[in-house]
Structure 1
Amino acid sequence: MPDARPELNARQQDLIERVRREGFASVDELARAFDVTPQTVRRDINQLAELGLLRRQHGGASLPTGSQNLAYDDRRELLADEKRRIARAAARHIPDNASLFINLGTTTEEVARALSGHRGLRVITNNLNVATLMAGYEECEVIVAGGVVRARDLGVIGGLAIDFIRQFKVDFAVIGTSSIEADGTLRDFDARETRVAEAIIEGARAVFLVADHSKFDRPALVRGGHLSQVNILFTDAAPPESWSGMLARAGTQVVVAD
């Protein structure tokens, strides 16, 4: 059956992004920000809460619980333009004839799209969305990790995937994350996913992290590495000024996409 979930309009996407930045936003504040009535805001909040994108609170809205991630299709819709800009910036740092890992996430999927004009790539991935996209690219060889397929996003996870990935050493790893904390800790929502990501990081000569600004200081459950393991962070907005010392100690270059 076709997906009956309604598409989010621009105001609803901006509303979610505002709540992401601030943690909580009141109905009155949102009504002023978007120049609509409080009744319109309440309708938006009710709809977004039913989709699991926000949590209704007395007088406003907050993020869903930190132990859960948003549905994959919903994440694709959020900050889509920013993800495409990040992906193009990352793709410019990957030459033809490179070997690379690409792991799970909507932003890494955009990187796969941005690589469509490259030639001679050898791609190892545990992301079946990426594999499907890149299998048709000219002069591109795609190798898919074996393991358990996670139905919600077609990610391949588990011990078999880790053992498979550890056989390879590649030029670049393109990874995503659900959260970057102020101390540089990377976090996600599934321990099985983070273990695969750790194997990917270990098997790459250079690690590229692609993450939009909503991932800065976002709550997430499972530790999945540290920025000190990342060569370049590609994002769409400058990290908080308070992070400058941490980034310098980590040795991570930051590229803010145009």
Structure 2
Amino acid sequence: MDTETRHQHIRTRAQTEGRVAATALATELGVAVQTIRRDLRQLCAAGLLERVHGGAVLPSGVSNIGYDDRRALNRDVKIGIARRTAQLIPDNASLFLNIGTTTEAVAHALHAHRNLMVVTNNLNVANILASNQSCDVIVAGGSLRRTDGGLVGDLAALAIDRFKVDFAVIGASAIDQSGDLLDFDPEEVRVSQQVIKAARATILVADASKFTRKAPVKIASLAQVDHFVTDNIPSEALAHRCIDWQTRVSLIKTL
């Protein structure tokens, strides 16, 4: 079976089932697992699929992929982004961490920081930081979104309005070529927008796969971001816009 035929088969299976597994595809198509993994890398590079542990899923559109799958996406890159972000945040600072698997990685990377005050609407972040005895954690109340431990809605936005923090560390589900930061849930977006207003500086943490994804609700623009930590900006035009917007970009090294 040639490459084009395999790719079409993989895409059809993903469209039918939402997710494909490399080992199952290899058995089904009678090829080596390494061949399927190469096919998946090519399809993901083209924005047709998104890699998860053991396989791939359909790229997002109007609904997000599962939280466990998001945790597995580009895990090593997220760890690198988190470590670089932690370097931007000094001890004795106040900050906000919003919902997302990359912001969870940032919470892990802050384990050695001292005298932080962290406000979050992410129960996962609160649990991660609970082990740091030198970190005060404030949870912004709201409606619990059980799929990812997020607290959203009016109560969360009102709680955040009471603060003025040094840093807002935010993620996004997608970034389009105009520099708009996008997400899926309008209730979550309202909270993220309030977070940006409540911070003296905003740090966006997002890996380059976000440039291949789509989401329907606008959070903000990169023009409103002070620092963007990522592994790559695929568009030279967008990189120049970041310079014009005075958005500082930190590109981490990847293996």
Structures share a fold, TM > 0.5? yes
* Deviation per residue, 1:112-136 (Å, 9 max, x gap): 0000000000000000000001011
Q: Does 1:174 align with 2:169?
A: yes
Q: Does 1:80 align with 2:104?
A: no
Q: Does 1:188 align with 2:183?
A: yes
Partner of 2:197: 202
Describe the SS at the equivalent of 2:88.
coil
Unmatched 5+ stretches in structure 2: 1-18, 24-32
Question: Residue type matched to 1:128 in 2?
Answer: L
Partner of 1:92: 87
Q: Does 1:19 align with 2:14?
A: no
* Deviation per residue, 1:143-172 (Å, 9 max, x gap): 001010001000000000000001000000
Partner of 1:136: 131
Instruction: Calculate percent identity across the aligned residue pairs.
Output: 47
Contact 2:95/2:118 (8 A) holds in 1: yes
Give 1:241's match in structure 2, choosing from 215, 236, 242.
Answer: 236
Give 1:109's match in structure 2, choosing from 97, 104, 112.
Answer: 104
Contact 1:123/1:141 (8 A) holds in 2: yes
Contact 1:17/1:214 (8 A) holds in 2: no
Q: Does 1:253 align with 2:248?
A: yes
Describe the SS at the equivalent of 2:133.
coil
Q: Does 1:125 align with 2:120?
A: yes
Contact 2:84/2:229 (8 A) holds in 1: yes
Q: 1:8 Cα shift?
A: 7.8
Unmatched 5+ stretches in structure 1: 26-43, 55-62
Question: Residue type matched to 1:193 in 2?
Answer: E
Provide the C-alpha distance between the structure 2 equivalents of 1:233 and 1:13, rounded to a whole number of angstroms: 30
Give 2:156's match in structure 1, choosing from 161, 175, 178.
Answer: 161
Contact 1:98/1:120 (8 A) holds in 2: yes
Describe the SS at the equivalent of 2:213.
coil
Residues 133 and 15 of structure 1, relative CA distance in 2, 3 Å threshold: farther
Q: 1:7 Cα shift?
A: 9.1
Question: Residue type matched to 1:171 in 2?
Answer: D
Question: Residue type matched to 1:212 in 2?
Answer: D
* Deviation per residue, 1:5-64 (Å, 9 max, x gap): 999889788765643431338xxxxxxxxxxxxxxxxxx99x957xxx22xxxxxxxx35
Q: 1:191 Cα shift?
A: 0.7
Give the RMSD, CA atoms, in angstroms: 2.6
Provide the C-alpha distance between the structure 2 equivalents of 1:111 and 1:212, rounded to a whole number of angstroms: 13
